[in-house]
Amino acid sequence: MRFIPILRNSDRIRVFLVSATMILGALGSAHAASLPQIVHARQEHFRMLGRTAKSLRDQFGRRRLNWAAIGSDAQALDRLASELPSWFPPGSGQGHGVKTRARAVIWTNPQAFAQAAHMLLFRAQGLTRAAAHHDRRALMLNARALGHACGSCHSRFRAHSGWW
C-alpha cells in the first residue's frame, strides 16, 4: 500500500511546509511559556533567599542565639548563593517580553555579574563558618557583609530600589 497515493509532489511539499510551520509554532509557544516560568522560578528563589535572610536576621536581636536555627539558615543561604548564577539563563532579562527587574547588564557584562555572585557566595560561606563555630561577632560581621553584597548587586543589576 502506497502512502497517500492521491497527493502529488507539489501537495506533499505543501503538507510538509504546513506541518513544519505548526511544529515550529508549537515549539515556539513552548519556549514562550518557559520564559515566564524561568522568571517566576527566579523570583521565587529570591523570595526564599529573602525569607531565609530575614529568619536569620530575626535571631540577631535575641540575647540567646538559637545556633541550630542560625546554622540551618546559613546553610540554606550558602546553597542558594551557590545556585544563584544558574537562575539567570541568557534571554531571561528585560526586553524579552516578560516582566522582570533583571537588567541587561547581567548578560552584557557577565564577568561583573559572576564576580558579584562569587562575592555573595564568599560571604554566605563565611556566615556558615561563623554559625558552625558559634562565633557571634563573626556572624554579625559576615551578615552585614552579606547584606552589603546583596545591596551592591541590586544597585547594579536590578532595575529598581530594593524597597519597593
Partner 1 sequence: MPAARRIRVWDLPTRIAHWSIVSLFGVCWWTAKSDHMQWHRLAGYGMLAAVWFRLAWGFWGGETARFGHFVRGPGTTLQYVRKLFARGDEAAPAPIGHNPLGALSILAMVGLLLTQTTFGLFAVNVDGFASGPLSRWVSYSAGRRFAHWHGANFNLLLVVVAIHLTAIGFYRWIRKERLIPAMIHGHKTVSAPIQEPYFVPWWRAIALATGIGICVALIANIGSLA
Q: What is the binding site for partner 1 (CB under 8 A)?
A: 46-47, 49-58, 60-63, 143, 146-147, 150-151, 154-155, 161-164
The CA distance from 105 to 112, in Å, is 9
Selection from 147, 125, 110 nearest residue 79 by Cα: 125
Q: Least separation, in Å, of the C-beta of 130 and partner 1?
A: 15
The CA distance from 32 to 126, in Å, is 39
Q: Which is nearer to partner 1, 7 or 48 (CB)?
A: 48
30: phi > 0 → left, psi -120 to 50 → alpha, else beta; which?
alpha
SS3 at position 95: coil
Q: Least separation, in Å, of the C-beta of 11 and partner 1?
A: 58
Q: Least separation, in Å, of the C-beta of 39 and partner 1?
A: 15
User: Contact, 20 vs 28, CB < 8 A?
Assistant: no
Q: Which is nearer to partner 1, 61 or 90 (CB)?
A: 61
Q: Least separation, in Å, of the C-beta of 52 and partner 1?
A: 7
Q: Which is nearer to partner 1, 37 or 155 (CB)?
A: 155
